[in-house]
Amino acid sequence: VALDPKTYQDNLGVAALTSSSARDVLMSRWHKPTLSVVSMKTSNTLESYSVIPCRAGAKVSIRYVPDQTAEEVVEGVRRHLEHEFAKRSSPNHLTVTTVQCGEWWVGNPQSSVFLAAKRAVA
């Protein structure tokens, strides 16, 4: 798999990548745990920026790896959010809901695509 880190960075529209090495960039995208905020929503249906919404939410996607379980990752995120929220001494409420969990890997590690990826990062 050919990857030019500078072209990839430009396509993403980001100031910098965590590494200039194609191998490291691919490893971080395919092999390491990640947490991505995929959507945010508030009760502010008017989208007025001077209104503080009474409710806000976010959806995150988490990729975990073989030495982790979905339950451990979900619980770790929950504990972290509750810890940070408690530091604010807010009268508001925090609710963490798990919508869906899956296995860390669903695929055939002997497929041609998997083997090409393996060769690319080896």
pLDDT (0 to 100) of residue 1: 65
More confident: 49 or 92: 92
Rounded to whole angstroms, how far apart are CA atoms 3 and 15? 18
Provide, rounded to the nearest whole percent, the portion of the chain with pLDDT above 70.
Answer: 99
DSSP symbol at 56:
E
More confident: 2 or 94: 94
Distance of CA 18 to the CA centre of its chain: 15
Mean pLDDT of the 98-122 span:
86
Q: Are 105 and 68 in contact (CB under 8 A)?
A: no
What's this model's pTM, rounded to 2 decimal places?
0.67
In this predicted structure, the answer to whether residue 64 has a pLDDT above a threshold of 90 is no
Mean pLDDT of the 67-89 span:
94
65 closest CA partner among 38, 29, 96? 29
Provide, rounded to the nearest whole percent, the portion of the chain with pLDDT above 90.
Answer: 52
Tens digit of each residue's pLDDT (9 = 90 or more) over 6-61: 999 999 999 999 898 999 998 887 788 889 999 999 888 777 777 788 889 999 99
